[in-house]
Structure 1
Amino acid sequence: MPIRLKKLIGTILLVALVIIYALIASAIAVTRLAEYGSMAHFLFFLLSGLLWVLPAMGIIKWLILESPQKD
């Protein structure tokens, strides 16, 4: 796969991941955390703010891996 195409796909995947993850995390916060205190909100947003990094690392790792060269 050409490197430019791979970077384009990776960029689109990362942007989509962030948008979808933020919408899901916000929806969970609105529906589930309404009756809890500020400490629960803080912990939820702290953990959910860090958790998106795991799938993003997978996408970035895929981006930097070189595909085998054909001779």
Structure 2
Amino acid sequence: MPVRLRKFIGTILLIILVLGYALLATTIAVNALGASPWWVHLTYFLLTGLLWVLPAMGLIKWMAGPRQR
């Protein structure tokens, strides 16, 4: 697959990932953390704020293509 096409597809997928992840994380927070103390909110948003990086990192590595020697 050409690098330009791979980067285009990866960019679209990355945008979908970020929007979908933000919507899912916010929906879970609203439904599950309504009456929780502040430290539970802080922990949840700290973890979910960092967790999206893992699939994004894999996607970015895929976009870069195989290593050239």
TM-score w.r.t. the length of structure 2 is 0.92
Q: Which runs of 4+ in 1 moved over 6 A?
A: none
| Structure 2 unaligned blocks of 5 or more | none
Greater RCO structure (CA 8 Å; 6+ sep):
2
Alpha-carbon RMSD across the aligned residues, in angstroms, is 1.2
Q: Please state how far the C-alpha of 1:65 moved relative to its aligned partner.
A: 2.2
Aligned length: 67
Query: Which residue identity lines up with residue 21 of structure 2 in the other structure?
Result: Y
- Aligned-residue sequence identity (percent) comes to 57
TM-score w.r.t. the length of structure 1 is 0.89
| Structure 1 unaligned blocks of 5 or more | none
Looking at structure 1, the residues matched to 8 and 65 of structure 2 have their Cα atoms a distance apart, in angstroms, of: 15
